[in-house]
């Protein structure tokens, strides 16, 4: 079978998702599909429903109607931690106490189900060379290589640049076993040169490691060339989708940013 005849595989699909907050219709029948091993961009003016959609996909908000699927499985009613276990991650800022840990330790403490479970931080020193820890340390180094932070393994997280911090957030998600990573504005507050290096990594994680990304981003001009597919929302609806350059030049999309 040739590449273009192969059916496209999706990790996430939403079908007709509706979410109301009182009188506000934040999502008005949103259907999107996030292809496996690709980078998908979600854009739209303020208040168009992007974060609400991310919350519905990750399980933090229950939709009033519509369905959410992960690899064909209906996850509409699954709680967030169950979705995380399946492989869906949303990146979050590194929690404050973790900024004092090293980059390597940040990956190790993000692993669930380790034998030391809760007291893992203190357990690191004591049990480092037991088989589980040994495996985890090896895996953490591999993940650090993937995200390009290998040489920083022993640095405190607090010493990282904004861009490196984003890569560490991605590394933590991969370490937890995620294959589908959702990011809300990873480039916010990051300098343009570093935006390139984050998105180059995201690209290679997608193409070489098969990780799927759904990224909400406002700095569209900076990131469009790293993206495979784009959706534009306005007032709770998808108003355009396709190749990023097509979506960015779509008249309806341009007008949605001017209007309001």
Ligand X SMILES: Nc1ncnc2c1ncn2[C@@H]1O[C@H](COP(=O)(O)OP(=O)(O)OP(=O)(O)O)[C@@H](O)[C@H]1O
Residue 52, interface with ligand X (CB under 6 A)?
Answer: yes
Residue 235, interface with ligand X (CB under 6 A)?
Answer: no
Q: At closest approach, how far in Å is the CB of 215 from Mg ion?
A: 12
Query: Tokens at residue 87, please?
Result: 């492989």
8 A C-beta contact, residue 175 and residue 153: no
Q: Which does 128 bind (CB under 5 to 8 A by kind): Mg ion, ligand X, none?
A: none
Neighbours of 189 (CB within 10 A): 7
**Measured between alpha carbons, how far is residue 89 from residues 9, 154, 170, 182 in Å?**
19, 25, 9, 6
**Measured between alpha carbons, how far is residue 181 from residues 81, 130, 190, 227, 258 in Å?**
14, 30, 19, 14, 30
Residue 148, interface with ligand X (CB under 6 A)?
Answer: no
Q: At closest approach, how far in Å is the CB of 236 from ligand X?
A: 7
Q: At closest approach, how far in Å is the CB of 59 from Mg ion?
A: 17
- Distance, CA of 141 to CA of 151 (rounded, Å): 10
Which of these segments, 44-52, 142-150, 207-215, 238-246, binds ligand X (CB under 6 A)?
A: 44-52
Which of these segments, 50-58, 91-99, 123-131, 188-196, binds ligand X (CB under 6 A)?
A: 50-58
Q: Which residues bind Mg ion (CB under 5 A)?
A: 50-51
Q: Which does 44 bind (CB under 5 to 8 A by kind): ligand X, Mg ion, none?
A: ligand X
Our CB check for ligand X shows the closer of 27 and 147 to be 27
Residue 76, interface with ligand X (CB under 6 A)?
Answer: no
**Measured between alpha carbons, how far is residue 5 from residues 2, 9, 78, 211 in Å?**
5, 12, 33, 22
Which of these segments, 8-16, 31-39, 41-49, 104-112, binds ligand X (CB under 6 A)?
A: 41-49
How many residues sit close enough to ligand X to count as binding (CB under 6 A)?
A: 11
- Distance, CA of 91 to CA of 182 (rounded, Å): 6
Residue 46, interface with ligand X (CB under 6 A)?
Answer: yes
- Distance, CA of 28 to CA of 42 (rounded, Å): 16
Q: Starting at the earlier edge strand, list the strands of the sheet with 65-70.
A: 24-35, 10-21, 65-70, 73-74
Q: At closest approach, how far in Å is the CB of 252 from ligand X?
A: 16
Residue 51, interface with ligand X (CB under 6 A)?
Answer: yes
Which of these segments, 10-18, 45-53, 100-108, 130-138, binds ligand X (CB under 6 A)?
A: 45-53
- Distance, CA of 203 to CA of 211 (rounded, Å): 9
Contacts with ligand X, residue ranges (CB under 6 A):
21, 24, 26, 44, 46-52
């Amino acid at each position: 079978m040739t590449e273009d005849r192969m059916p496209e595989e999706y990790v996430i699909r939403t079908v007709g998702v509706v979410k109301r907050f009182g009188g506000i219709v934040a999502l008005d029948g949103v259907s999107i599909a996030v292809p496996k091993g690709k980078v998908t961009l979600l854009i739209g003016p303020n208040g168009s429903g992007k974060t609400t959609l991310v919350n519905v996909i990750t399980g933090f908000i229950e939709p009033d109607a519509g369905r959410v699927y992960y690899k064909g499985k209906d996850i509409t009613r699954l709680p967030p931690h169950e979705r995380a276990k399946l492989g869906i991650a949303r990146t979050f800022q590194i929690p404050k106490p973790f900024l004092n840990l090293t980059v390597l330790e940040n990956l190790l403490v993000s692993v669930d189900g380790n034998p030391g479970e809760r007291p893992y931080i203190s357990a690191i020193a004591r049990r480092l060379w037991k088989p589980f820890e040994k495996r985890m340390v090896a895996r953490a180094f591999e993940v650090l290589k993937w995200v390009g932070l290998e040489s920083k393994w022993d640095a405190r997280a607090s010493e990282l640049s904004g861009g490196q911090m984003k890569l560490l957030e991605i590394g933590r998600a991969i370490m937890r076993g995620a294959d589908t990573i959702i990011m809300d504005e990873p480039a916010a507050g990051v300098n343009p040169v570093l935006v390139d290096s984050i998105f180059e990594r995201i690209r290679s994680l997608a193409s070489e490691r098969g990780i799927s990304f759904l990224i909400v981003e406002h700095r569209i001009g900076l990131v469009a060339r790293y993206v495979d597919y784009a959706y534009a929302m306005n007032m709770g609806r998808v108003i355009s989708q396709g190749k990023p350059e097509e979506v960015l030049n779509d008249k309806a999309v341009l007008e949605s940013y001017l209007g309001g």
